[in-house]
Amino acid sequence: MVEGFIVVAVVLLAAVLFAAWFTVRVITWIVGGIAALARGGAPARLAQSLPASGTAACLQASCRATNPQHARFCRRCGIALARDARGGPVRMRYVA
Ligand SMILES: [Zn+2]
C-alpha cells in the first residue's frame, strides 16, 4: 500500500512539474507575441524574408541580397555597398 502511495505521489509530482513548465512556456509565448505586436513588427521569421526599412539591397543585379543598412559590403557576393561622392558604387581595392 505504501508503494502505491509513492507511485501516485511521484506521478502527481511529475504532473505538477509539467503543468508548471507548460504554464511558463505559454506565458513566455504570449508575452513574446504581445511584445512583438507592441513593437509593430512582424514575427522574426517573417521579418527575415521581407526586406525591412533598415536594409539595403545588393547593387549586383545577379545577387540582390538584402544587407543591413550599415553594411559596407554585400554579405553574399562581397560587392561594395557604400557609395562614393559621385553616387556610384565604391570599387574594392585589393592590397598586395
Ligand atoms: Zn550581393
Q: 90 CA to middle of ligand 1, Å?
A: 13
Look at 47 and 75; give whichever has higher pLDDT.
Answer: 75
Look at 77 and 44; give whichever has higher pLDDT.
Answer: 77
Q: Which residues of 13-50 are buried (b: 16+ CB within 10 A; e: fewer)?
A: eeeeeeeeeeeeeeeeeeeeeeeeeeeeeeeeeeeeee
C-alpha cell at 50: 521581407
Confidence of residue 7 (pLDDT cuts 50, 70, 90): very high
| Model pTM above 0.85 | no
The reply to whether 61 and 36 lie within a common domain is no
pLDDT at 75: 92
The reply to whether 31 and 58 lie within a common domain is no
Q: Give the mean pLDDT of 54-68.
A: 88
The reply to whether 57 and 96 lie within a common domain is yes
Residue 46 pLDDT more than 80?
A: no
Q: 43 CA to middle of ligand 1, Å?
A: 25
Confidence of residue 73 (pLDDT cuts 50, 70, 90): confident
Q: 44 CA to middle of ligand 1, Å?
A: 22
The reply to whether 34 and 69 lie within a common domain is no
